[in-house]
Structure 1
Amino acid sequence: MPQLEVDGAALTYDDEGPRDGDGVPLVFIHGWTANRHRWDHQLAHFSPKRRVIRLDLRGHGESSGAGVRTIEELARDVLALLDHLKVERFVLVGHSMGGMISQTIALSHPERVERMALVNSISRMTYSRGRGLLMGASTLVPFKLFVATNIQRAFAPGYPREEIREYVRASADTPREVVMTLYGAMRAFDVLDRVGEIRTPTLLVHGYHDIQLPVSQMLRMAKAYPDAVVRIVDAGHELPVEKPAELTSALDWFVTGRA
Structure 2
Amino acid sequence: MPQLEVAGAVLTYDDEGPRDAADVPLVFVHGWTANRHRWDHQTAHFAAGRRVIRLDLRGHGESGGAGVRTIAELADDVLALLAHLKVERFALVGHSMGGMIAQTIALSHPERVERMVLVNSIGRMAYSRGRGLLMAASTLVPFRLFVAANIQRAFAPGYPREEIRAHIRASAGTPREVVMTSYGAMRTFDVLDRVGEIRTPTLMVHGYHDVQLPVRQMLRMAKAYPDAVVRIVDAGHELPVEKPAELTEALDRFLTTKA
Instruction: Please report the TM-score for the alignment, with normalisation by the length of structure 1.
Output: 0.97
Distance in 2 between residues matched to 1:237 and 1:133, nearest whole Å = 16
Distance in 1 between residues matched to 2:167 and 2:130, nearest whole Å = 24
Could you give the per-residue CA deviations for residues 60-112 of structure 1, whole angstroms, max 9, x where no partner exists?
01101114221110000000000000000000000000000000000000010
Q: Give runs of aligned pairs for residues 232-251 of structure 1, distance below 5 A.
A: 232-251=232-251
Displacement of 1:22 in angstroms is 3.4
Residues paired across the two proteins, number: 258
Residue of structure 1 equivalent to 2:137: 138
Instruction: Please report the TM-score for the alignment, with normalisation by the length of structure 2.
Output: 0.97
Displacement of 1:197 in angstroms is 0.4
Identity fraction in percent: 83
Residue of structure 1 equivalent to 2:45: 45
Displacement of 1:133 in angstroms is 4.6
Distance in 1 between residues matched to 2:111 and 2:182, nearest whole Å = 27
Residue 183 of structure 2 corresponds to residue 183 of structure 1? yes
Displacement of 1:134 in angstroms is 1.5
Say which SS state the counterpart of residue 257 (structure 2) adopts.
helix
Residue of structure 2 equivalent to 1:68: 68
Instruction: Provide structure 2 residue ranges, at least 5 long, that are not aligned to the other structure.
Output: none
Instruction: Provide structure 1 residue ranges, at least 5 long, that are not aligned to the other structure.
Output: none
Distance in 2 between residues matched to 1:210 and 1:48, nearest whole Å = 31
Residue of structure 2 equivalent to 1:154: 154
Residue of structure 1 equivalent to 2:120: 120
Say which SS state the counterpart of residue 28 (structure 1) adopts.
strand
Displacement of 1:132 in angstroms is 6.3
Say which SS state the counterpart of residue 139 (structure 1) adopts.
helix
Letter of the 1:3 counterpart:
Q
Say which SS state the counterpart of residue 23 (structure 2) adopts.
coil
Displacement of 1:185 in angstroms is 1.1
- Kindly tell me: are residues 67 and 208 of structure 1, through their superposed partners in 2, closer, same or farther at Cα, counting changes over 3 Å? closer
Displacement of 1:224 in angstroms is 0.3
Residue of structure 1 equivalent to 2:211: 211
Distance in 2 between residues matched to 1:179 and 1:127, nearest whole Å = 17
Say which SS state the counterpart of residue 122 (structure 1) adopts.
coil
Residue of structure 1 equivalent to 2:174: 174
Q: Give runs of aligned pairs for residues 219-234 of structure 1, distance below 5 A.
A: 219-234=219-234
Residue of structure 2 equivalent to 1:103: 103
Could you give the per-residue CA deviations for residues 17-68 of structure 1, whole angstroms, max 9, x where no partner exists?
1111131000000000000000000010000100000000000011011142
Displacement of 1:258 in angstroms is 4.2
Letter of the 2:2 counterpart:
P
Could you give the per-residue CA deviations for residues 233-254 of structure 1, whole angstroms, max 9, x where no partner exists?
0000000000000000000011
Please give the root-mean-square deviation of Cα atoms over the aligned residues, in Å: 1.1
Distance in 2 between residues matched to 1:210 and 1:68, nearest whole Å = 26
Contact 1:151–1:167 under 8 Å retained in 2: yes
Contact 2:30–2:98 under 8 Å retained in 1: yes
Letter of the 1:17 counterpart:
G
Say which SS state the counterpart of residue 58 (structure 2) adopts.
coil
Contact 1:22–1:49 under 8 Å retained in 2: no
Residue of structure 2 equivalent to 1:25: 25
Distance in 1 between residues matched to 2:11 and 2:136, nearest whole Å = 33
Distance in 2 between residues matched to 1:177 and 1:151, nearest whole Å = 17
- Over 3 Å off, 4+ runs: 130-133
Residue of structure 2 equivalent to 1:89: 89
Distance in 1 between residues matched to 2:170 and 2:233, nearest whole Å = 25
Distance in 2 between residues matched to 1:220 and 1:26, nearest whole Å = 27
Distance in 1 between residues matched to 2:21 and 2:50, nearest whole Å = 5
Residue of structure 2 equivalent to 1:9: 9
Letter of the 2:177 counterpart:
E
Say which SS state the counterpart of residue 166 (structure 1) adopts.
helix
Distance in 2 between residues matched to 1:165 and 1:172, nearest whole Å = 10
Residue of structure 1 equivalent to 2:193: 193
Contact 2:134–2:150 under 8 Å retained in 1: no
